[in-house]
Structure 1
Amino acid sequence: METKRAALERPWLIVVLLALGQMISFVDRTSLSSALADHGFISEFGLTSVERGWLSSAFFWSYGLVQLPMGWVVDRYGVKWPYAICLAVWCMTAAATGLVGTLWALILMRLLIGAAEGVVVPATYRYLANHFAERQRGTALGIFSVGGKMGPALGAPIAAWLIVHHSWQLMFIATGLTGLLWLWPWLTQVKNDFPSPQELAVRVEQAASVPLRNLLASPVIWGGMLNNFCYAYFYIYCMTWMPAYLVEQRGLTLQKSGLYTFFSFAGIAVVAALAGWSADRLIARGHDAVRVRKCFIVAGFIGATTVLLGAYADTLRMALFWNVVSLSLLGLVTANHLALSKLTLIPLPAVGLNTGLLQVATSLAGGVSASLSGWLLHTSGSYTLSMQAIFLFLLLGATSTLVLFRRQWAPKIR
């Protein structure tokens, strides 16, 4: 039975499931952002801007802490069962958030969700490395990245609607439990890749051929971590603070802020998918994969700096326009950076471990972005300083791409 199912496994269908899993994870991690823009939620817990920053950043600290262990796990034990177990844990924890009544309990829930969601990215790259060729990876990653963008895009308006028409408690319970529906297609469509003792010994030997010290000695890895940080700093700012910015500085209602959050994240999802597909087409025609993906990445980082035009816009219409355009243009980076830094220049045995390592930088960016933005808001009373910081990090990402991503600097197999 298992052999028959394995033969029938459809990799592109699994990519869609991985994208849906990513979407569920982002709905559960961004539902808090809508709550933090709700005056009732803020007053119930007596939250200051600094405490809102702490609460937003809690997820990313535990998420970052487990990235290397999760990469180690999926390199050895496969993706099916680790992913299924972790998704069940984070969905139930997200639902339980609606039942807590203290700030410290909220922080604990966010830490647990972050730890469980740590499996998503290492497991995905382990699967893609095993099943897709270079000319297909940009498209596959474009599809996968749509899940990460549509999570906030759909989650923000849905969460806002549930809060306005029901309560923040029901919002957490409903969005958390709904994600459990994903488990049935995952368990029935993905083959069991949990290794036998003999297979495990082979995987351990393969993984040992590219030890962590070889990764840390590679400028490509440091470039990947820098880019992950710079990309995630802007993206996570939008995920954690955009609803509050639109409500508090631009005067939108909570529901309208959810609508414009949808447009921004839908924009980056569409651009990410098209950019990944376009790069794959160029590579399939014989163009160098590294050069093609670097061009898309640099263009995306530079295009996203238009966020600063939104910060200084005099009218609401122009502020909203640049809000959507800047995040959408960041989509040029998404799939191509993911392919370049986690697959194209990385030896196959080290994909999971490398992905976990790079995700540490992502989670660090999340913690810094969420908490630093709260502190800057507290000290200045405006979101402009936060956007100036984003501008600088985007320029750093473009520079890192040009300088550090070279084939001769890729990690070595011993």
Structure 2
Amino acid sequence: MTGARVAQTSAEKPWAILILLTIGWTISFIDRTSLSSAMADKHFIHEFGLTSVDRGWLGSAIFWSYAVLQLPMGWVVDRFGVKWPYAICFALWCVAAAATSLSHSLPSLFVVRLLIGASEAVVLPASYRYIANRFDEAHKGTATGIFSLGGKVGPAIGAAIAAWLIVTYSWKDMFVLTGLLGMVWLVPWLLMVKNDFPTREQLAAAKRRAKSVPLRNLLVSPVVWGGFIMTFCYTYFVFYCATWMPSYLVEQRGLSLMKSGMLTFVSFISVAIVAVTAGWAADRIIARGRDALVVRKAFVVAGALGGMTVLLGAYAQSQEAALFWNVASLSLAGLATANNLALSKLTLIPKQAIGLSTGILTIATSLAGGVSASLCGWLLHVGKSYTLPMLSVCIFLGIGAVSAIVLMRREWAPKVNEVVD
């Protein structure tokens, strides 16, 4: 098949490529969260002599480089297209994930995690650019909802697979297998996605659009900061679950590593189902004439309050009650997932600024991951239990709900400037 034929075929199958993007997002989370299962393995902890604080910093490493490179990766994707930047970065993070097995010290582990985070920074800028370019307005909500499943299914699958591989083989084999097997994804990606290197005219048009809503207009908008705070607070909880849930289940609730992986799997699958259902339900209510802003705020606040029930698990006396709230709290937080995404990135944001706004919010996501992993590790060290980490989750979710109520107002949306060529 010629290159022209491949390009034509890929252009006619955006939904197939969307599924491929979703799988790529899933794989990135598998490689991102596999370390969480390793940090619940006593052999891994003993080999590196890890304290709770060490585990916190190690779990946060990936998020710091991920956050720093969000805007630069967006710049690269805008100028060099989606296909090749994504392919190169995908290969790099898979190799880095497999190379974790070669680490022999805490500093080397930290460096490898930084490399994975730096490479994975391409995923969201590339994916959202593809969705924006290939789907019309009537389908962008559905496309975005499908894509977001990768961020929930990935931790679920990653925790279960990583735990099984560690128990069956070893933590070193787990990193090699999860890292290198992901490379299979590159085959359909290279065959199906056309080279979308932009022309000079396309670059010029993009620059003109960007001038109408410059970065300063976003940074002075309370709406953007409301979205930033809510996204940070919601994601703090999600990454607490992705980073510390396996260790909590093993160390404080007495589950085996295999059972902790399965319960983490159930928790993230549940939040994925709730997230999609809540997004659909909000859309139906809005379609009946209700104010989109009010409806989405209500779902966001309900999700934040639901997530705060994680603290009930901390104080539960029985293992059954603790495990119930462990699953229920993350599942209830799913009420906020799709609606916070729509509220922060679409409902109140001018179309010409969605890309830049997404970059800012992705920085919030990355910072939340880093702060959650490291702060919860320190709180665990101080309190000698997971009660303080869970209390921090409740505090952040409360702050996020208040920010959504107070700051997300139409009159405070980013302003659009008139551009004169």
Aligned to 1:247: 250
Aligned to 1:397: 400
Q: Decide whether the 8 Å contact of 1:215 with 1:411 is kept in 2.
A: yes
In the TM superposition, what are the counterparts of 1:26-45 in structure 2 within 5 Å? 26-45=29-48
Aligned to 1:353: 356
- Cα distance, 1:245 vs structure 2: 0.3
Are 1:108 and 2:118 counterparts?
no
- Cα distance, 1:111 vs structure 2: 0.3
TM-aligned CA distance change 1:347 to 1:77, over 3 Å = farther
TM-aligned CA distance change 1:200 to 1:73, over 3 Å = same
Are 1:319 and 2:322 counterparts?
yes
Question: Aligned AA for 1:160?
Answer: A
Q: Decide whether the 8 Å contact of 1:98 with 1:169 is kept in 2.
A: yes
In the TM superposition, what are the counterparts of 1:1-400 in structure 2 within 5 Å? 1=4, 5=8, 8-400=11-403
CA distance in 1, matches of 2:282, 2:16: 21
Question: Aligned AA for 1:375?
Answer: W
- Cα distance, 1:252 vs structure 2: 0.6
Runs (4+) off by over 6 Å: none
CA distance in 1, matches of 2:50, 2:167: 19
In structure 1, list runs of 5 or more residues that go unmatched.
none
TM-score of the superposition, structure 1-length normalised? 0.95
Question: Aligned AA for 1:189?
Answer: M
Identity percentage over the alignment?
65
Deviations 1:327-380, CA, capped at 9 Å, x for gaps? 011111111211221223222332222111111111111111111111111111
CA distance in 1, matches of 2:252, 2:215: 45
- SS of residue matched to 1:84: helix
TM-aligned CA distance change 1:6 to 1:211, over 3 Å = farther
CA distance in 2, matches of 1:344, 1:76: 27
Identify the range of structure 1 (357-366 vs 218-227) with the bigger mean alpha-carbon deviation: 357-366
TM-aligned CA distance change 1:43 to 1:7, over 3 Å = closer
Q: Decide whether the 8 Å contact of 1:149 with 1:266 is kept in 2.
A: yes
TM-aligned CA distance change 1:161 to 1:190, over 3 Å = same
TM-aligned CA distance change 1:7 to 1:165, over 3 Å = closer
CA distance in 1, matches of 2:346, 2:6: 28
CA distance in 1, matches of 2:296, 2:191: 35
- Cα distance, 1:286 vs structure 2: 4.0
TM-aligned CA distance change 1:77 to 1:190, over 3 Å = same
Paired residues in the alignment total: 414
CA distance in 1, matches of 2:149, 2:166: 25
CA distance in 2, matches of 1:96, 1:226: 35
- Alpha-carbon RMSD across the aligned residues, in angstroms, is 1.8
- Cα distance, 1:115 vs structure 2: 0.8
Q: Decide whether the 8 Å contact of 1:9 with 1:190 is kept in 2.
A: no
- Cα distance, 1:109 vs structure 2: 0.6
TM-score of the superposition, structure 2-length normalised? 0.94
- Cα distance, 1:56 vs structure 2: 0.4
Q: Decide whether the 8 Å contact of 1:297 with 1:333 is kept in 2.
A: yes
- SS of residue matched to 2:149: helix
